[in-house]
């Protein structure tokens, strides 16, 4: 690599674009330049994200699976996730309840806490609860998933009533969360795509704090091109009632642009790490090369095109 190029600076610049695209500022508002210890700490974080991605650390899943527009639907979800009261339900105060009667009492509590939730949903009525599922692959300790979900909810759902139930009887351990849309301060929850990615990051962080290897990289970052089924499609396929299979390949212009941007970022990161004299960095560069080799041919072609373009060096006076 050309002398004067700050490898840490390259890692932070392109690593932020790759792993934290939602944090990038608009043109005209350049982000503050990091120097010294701050730059080294940020670069160390980017290296850890690269390492986790190239070793294919287990990916967390955080998914909004629906939500009730009336108390009838919300109570039905309580019964479903608790197996009609046979499984423990834990609420936002850490209290646990069990039994069909307790589930009915929980529904009554939600109905009258804050704004009244109607029994049935009016046409076009607003959503009164969100159903969220937090999941990890087969083999993950279910109790660790439960503890991480508990900490996730304390951070991301603070100020709202919520309940959670651990399901560990299926292949992958997961936690069902139901959160009341209206918060105690009257503000309403309205999760957007950026919120969902932050939720994944938070869940993965809480798992790592418990010693569980977990990551929350975007599909584009990993070079994935698959469209995952919605919950209703999975259930319909299991009973043979899915009439038409949708394409499982993401091929929209937006998806293609996201993957191309990720490939460009990987190319710059690989080039920077290859120019390092540190064994750890060279190992990361090799891991990136091996990961990229496993990506679809079209993406590899985009990578070679990006590598043929000169990389603008980041020069720093910080020593």
User: What predicted TM-score, i.e. pTM, was given to this entire model?
Assistant: 0.78
Instruction: Please compute the mean of the pLDDT values over residues 55-83 and round it to a whole number.
Output: 94
Residue 35's SS3 state is: coil
For residue 101, what pLDDT is reported? 96
Residue 315 confidence (pLDDT) above 50: no
Question: Distance between CA atoms of 289 and 172, rounded to whole angstroms?
Answer: 30
Burial 189-216 (b: 16+ CB within 10 A, else e): bebeeeeebbbbbbbbbbbbeeebebbb
List domains and CATH numbers for the chain: 7-57+252-307 (no CATH), 61-209 (3.30.930.30)
Q: Mean pLDDT lowest for which of 149-163, 244-258, 271-285?
A: 244-258
Measured in degrees and rounded to the nearest 5, phi and psi for residue 218 equal -75, 155
Average pLDDT over residues 145-152: 98
If 0-12 CB within 10 Å is exposed, 13-18 middle and 19+ buried, where does residue 242 land?
Answer: middle
Is the pLDDT at 186 greater than 70, yes or no?
yes
CA atoms of 163 and 165, how far apart (whole Å) = 7
Extract the tokens encoding 307. Answer: 């590598």
Residue range 148-176: mean pLDDT, rounded:
95
Confidence of residue 33 (pLDDT cuts 50, 70, 90): confident
| pLDDT given at position 27 | 45
- pLDDT at position 246 is 52
Handedness of CA 23, 28, 34, 38 (dihedral sign): negative
Q: Which residues fall within 8 angstroms of residue 36, CB to CB, at 6 or more apart?
A: 318
């Amino acid at each position: 690599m050309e002398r004067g190029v700050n490898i840490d600076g390259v890692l932070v610049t392109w690593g932020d674009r790759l792993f934290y695209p939602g944090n990038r500022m608009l043109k005209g508002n350049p982000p503050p330049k990091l120097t010294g210890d701050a730059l080294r700490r940020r670069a160390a974080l980017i290296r850890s994200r690269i390492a986790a991605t190239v070793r294919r650390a287990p990916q967390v899943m955080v998914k909004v699976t629906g939500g009730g527009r009336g108390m009838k639907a919300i109570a039905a979800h309580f019964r479903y996730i608790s197996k009609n009261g046979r499984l423990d339900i834990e609420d936002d105060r850490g209290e646990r309840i069990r039994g069909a009667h307790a589930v009915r009492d929980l529904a009554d509590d939600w109905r009258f806490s804050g704004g009244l939730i109607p029994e049935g949903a009016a046409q076009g009525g607003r959503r009164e609860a969100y159903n969220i599922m937090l999941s990890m692959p087969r083999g993950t300790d279910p109790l660790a998933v439960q503890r991480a979900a508990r900490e996730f909810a304390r951070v991301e759902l603070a100020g709202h009533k919520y309940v959670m139930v651990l399901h560990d009887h299926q292949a992958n351990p997961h936690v069902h969360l139901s959160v009341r849309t209206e918060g105690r301060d009257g503000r309403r929850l309205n999760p957007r795509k950026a919120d969902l990615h932050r939720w994944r990051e938070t869940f993965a962080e809480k798992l790592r704090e418990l010693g569980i290897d977990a990551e929350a990289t975007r599909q584009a970052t990993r070079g994935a091109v698959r469209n995952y089924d919605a919950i209703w499609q999975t259930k319909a396929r299991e009973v043979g009632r899915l009439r038409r299979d949708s394409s499982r390949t993401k091929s929209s212009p937006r998806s293609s642009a996201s993957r191309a941007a990720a490939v460009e970022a990987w190319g710059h990161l690989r080039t920077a790490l290859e120019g390092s004299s540190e064994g750890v960095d060279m190992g990361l560069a090799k891991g990136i090369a091996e990961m990229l080799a496993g990506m679809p041919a079209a993406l590899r072609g985009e990578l070679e095109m990006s590598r043929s373009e000169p990389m603008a060096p980041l020069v720093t006076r910080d020593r």
